[in-house]
Every structure is written in C-alpha cells, then in structure tokens.
C-alpha cells in the first residue's frame, strides 16, 4: 500500500490519556518529531518519527521500532480490530531484527494484543489490537498506545506506538461534517472544543481556499480563522484511509472565537491522532486534478478535555 503523508493544519487531535507514564512531549527524548526545521531539541535526532539519541551513541542491542496502524479511531466495543505492522532494525547497524518482542496496550489492561508475543521475520511482524469495552467496571480510556518490550523485561517498554483513540459506540452526536458532506468545490471544517458536549462550530471554505504545493508536498486550507493542511504527496496519491499522528499534523486554531485548551491551539503544544480518508485522487500528466478527502483528528489536553475536528474537502483543479 502506498502511504500518503499528510500534515493537517486542521484541528483534529489526540494524546494518550490515563497512562501511568509521563507523557513524552514532541521534540523531547522518546517523543514524536515536531514539524519544521528543528524537529528535536538539543542533540537528539529524528529517526522513524521519534526523537532519539544519535545512532553513534546507541548500545549495540538498541532497536529502532516503527508502528504502522491501520485505523487510529476505533469504537471501544471489545470487538473491533485494528492491525499493526511493526518494523524493527538495529539502531547501530540498521540490520533487520529477527527476534521476539512483547506487545501490550498502555494503560495496561485497556484491551489486548493478538498475539501478545510477536516474532520478527526480516525485521517485520504483525499483530492485532482489540480494544476494551466502554463502560467496563475496570475502566476504558479515551486513548491507548501500544508498548513494545523485550521478553526478559516485559514491563520495561523500549518503544511506544502513536495513540489510538477509543470512542464510545453509544455516542449519538451527529457532526455536520462527514465523508459525504462536501460537494465538488466545497469544503467544511467542524470544531468541537469538548467531545463530551454536543456542540460544534462549523466553517465553510471553497475549493479556491485549498492550496496544493507539489514541491513541498503540502496541502493547506484556511477556514473560520483556523489554518489547516496536511503534507500530501500528489504524485503518489491513491484512495484509502491513512493514519495521522503528531508527525503528520500541524494546527493553528483561532482560540479567540472558541474556548480551547492551551495544548490544543496549535500543533506545537499537543499530540495528535486520527485518520485521513481519501475518497478520490485523480492525477494526469499535469498533476493532481481532483481530490476528495475527509479527516477526523482528536487532541487530549492536560486537564482531560478532548478537542475534535472533522474536515472534508472536494478539490477540483482550475481549468
């Protein structure tokens, strides 16, 4: 499957909640790389989307691990599965890892991995995450990450996946924005400052507000005082659903018109998770001619407030 990388200056946000561990901030050791010319602080380097020590300083046994998740927004129903592809290589030699790792959700008990012990073949392994059930007496968080650990130290994670958002399948709120809400030439952006409240603000934009820079692979939009966009490889565009995390998302929201938690006003302060669905991507020898997309992203603030953004657009190139 070809991967489309998207940097969405839309507002759809996500961070792991209820975790026992301290949150790794973007740009810091173990945190996801920030957008821009300085993705990591100090002497850290950006490898596989995470800020890490330079490979020259790594131990001979250190691993670089990358998670690819098929769906970042799933119902907390105890049944729905999302597939994880895990790639691992030696951080020093870059040789493919052919050993065994333990996988488990964090917070511990927030669902299960099948299998929980994976064997890598030429640096690749696959597993399935099954979420907890909303309303379980032991609790089911809004966000979960998948941790990887060595069998000899199963509770000492050496890597963590991007966040997966678990939503209550009984939620009845219907947003004005969906994957069928935008006609040709239209764009809509819906912002929910608090997902526990049935309120959202809607702004509209025209196709002329969408900018696609094929040199930098960035698609950007301005709507309702919010700046939204995503890195988009127009030369490799294909239909499908693609996961979004902090490295794919950049956001600048108008906090004067809507009361938003500080961490979720822009992408520099929050961790993000979600999906982008491309319904139609039409290319010819002159470039991208049409693009129909829908995205949903969430962000969890330090005080537990979850902000959500949905956006759709139906871009048609000018003749």
- Tell me whether strands 73-75 and 164-167 are parallel, antiparallel or unpaired: parallel
Please tell me the predicted confidence (pLDDT) of residue 130.
96
- Residue 171's contacts (CB-CB under 8 Å, 6 or more residues apart) are none
- Residue 40's contacts (CB-CB under 8 Å, 6 or more residues apart) are 27, 28, 33, 34, 46, 51
Q: Which of 6-10, 43-47, 81-85, 146-150 has the lowest mean pLDDT?
A: 6-10
- Residue 149's contacts (CB-CB under 8 Å, 6 or more residues apart) are 101, 102, 104, 155, 156, 157, 158
149-158, 270-279, 297-306: which has the highest mean pLDDT? Answer: 149-158
Q: Which of 162-166, 209-213, 280-284 has the lowest mean pLDDT?
A: 209-213
pTM of the model: 0.67
Q: Give the DSSP H or E segment for 88.
A: strand 82-90
CA neighbours closer than 13 Å in the CB half-sphere of residue 195: 23
Secondary structure of residue 28 in the 3-state scheme: coil
17-26, 143-152, 231-240, 253-262: which has the highest mean pLDDT? Answer: 143-152
Please compute Rg for the chain using Cα positions.
19
Q: Evaluate if residue 213 carries a pLDDT over 80.
A: no
What is the CATH number that goes with domain 45-162?
2.60.40.10
Q: Evaluate if residue 7 carries a pLDDT over 70.
A: no
Give the span between the Cα atoms of 96 and 224, in whole angstroms: 47
| pLDDT band, very low/low/confident/very high, at 148 (cuts 50, 70, 90) | very high
Please tell me the predicted confidence (pLDDT) of residue 96.
95
Q: What 8-state DSSP symbol labels residue 283?
A: E
Give the span between the Cα atoms of 119 and 248, in whole angstroms: 29
Residue in 229, 281, 234 with CA at minimum distance from that of residue 250: 229
Range 66-73 average pLDDT? 90
Angle among Cα 115, 131, 68 to the nearest 5 degrees reads: 65
Residue in 217, 219, 229 with CA at minimum distance from that of residue 189: 229
Per-residue pLDDT tens for 240-277? Answer: 888 777 777 778 887 776 778 887 877 666 677 888 88
Are 250 and 8 in contact, with CB atoms under 8 Å apart?
A: yes
State residue 65 phi and psi, 5-degree precision: -125, 130
Secondary structure of residue 232 in the 3-state scheme: coil
Are 140 and 149 in contact, with CB atoms under 8 Å apart?
A: no
Please tell me the predicted confidence (pLDDT) of residue 220.
78
- State the virtual CA torsion across 111, 115, 120, 126 in degrees, nearest 10: -70
- Residue 291's contacts (CB-CB under 8 Å, 6 or more residues apart) are 210, 212, 219, 232, 237, 278, 280, 281, 282, 313, 314, 315
Concatenating the DSSP letter of every residue in 53-83 gives: --GGGS-TT-EEEEEEES-SEEE-BS---EE
Are 255 and 209 in contact, with CB atoms under 8 Å apart?
A: no
Give the span between the Cα atoms of 201 and 307, in whole angstroms: 12
Are 52 and 42 in contact, with CB atoms under 8 Å apart?
A: no
Range 155-182 average pLDDT? 88
Q: Evaluate if residue 18 carries a pLDDT over 50.
A: no
Q: How long a stretch of residues is the chain?
A: 319
Are 250 and 9 in contact, with CB atoms under 8 Å apart?
A: yes
- Sorted by where each begins, the domain ranges of the chain are 45-162, 186-316
């Amino acid at each position: 499957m070809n991967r489309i990388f998207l940097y969405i200056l839309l507002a759809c946000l996500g961070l792991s909640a209820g975790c026992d561990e301290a949150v790794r901030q973007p740009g810091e050791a173990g945190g996801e790389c920030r957008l821009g010319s300085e993705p990591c602080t100090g002497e850290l380097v950006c490898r596989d989307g995470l800020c890490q020590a330079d490979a020259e300083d790594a131990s001979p046994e250190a691993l670089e691990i990358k998670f690819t998740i098929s769906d970042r927004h799933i119902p907390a129903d105890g049944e729905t599965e999302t597939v994880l592809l895990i790639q691992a290589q030696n951080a020093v030699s870059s040789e493919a890892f052919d050993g065994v790792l333990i996988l488990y959700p964090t917070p511990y008990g927030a669902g299960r991995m099948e299998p929980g012990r994976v064997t890598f073949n030429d640096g690749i392994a696959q597993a399935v995450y099954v979420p907890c059930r909303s309303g379980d007496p032991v609790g089911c968080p809004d966000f979960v990450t998948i941790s990887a650990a060595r069998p000899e130290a199963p509770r000492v994670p050496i890597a963590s996946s991007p966040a997966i958002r678990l939503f209550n399948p009984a939620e009845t709120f219907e947003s004005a924005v969906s994957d069928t809400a935008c006609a040709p030439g239209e764009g809509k952006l819906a912002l929910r400052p608090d997902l526990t409240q049935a309120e959202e603000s809607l702004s509209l934009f025209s196709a002329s507000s969408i900018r696609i820079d094929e040199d930098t692979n960035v698609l950007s939009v301005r709507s309702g005082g919010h700046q939204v966009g995503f890195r988009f490889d127009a030369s490799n565009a294909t239909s499908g659903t693609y996961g979004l995390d902090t490295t794919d998302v950049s956001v600048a929201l108008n906090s004067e018109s809507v009361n938003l938690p500080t961490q979720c006003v822009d992408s520099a302060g929050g961790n993000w998770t979600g999906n982008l669905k491309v319904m139609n991507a039409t290319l010819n020898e002159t470039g991208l001619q049409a693009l129909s997309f829908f995205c949903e992203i969430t962000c969890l603030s330090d005080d537990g407030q979850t902000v959500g953004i949905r956006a759709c657009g139906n871009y048609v190139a000018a003749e």
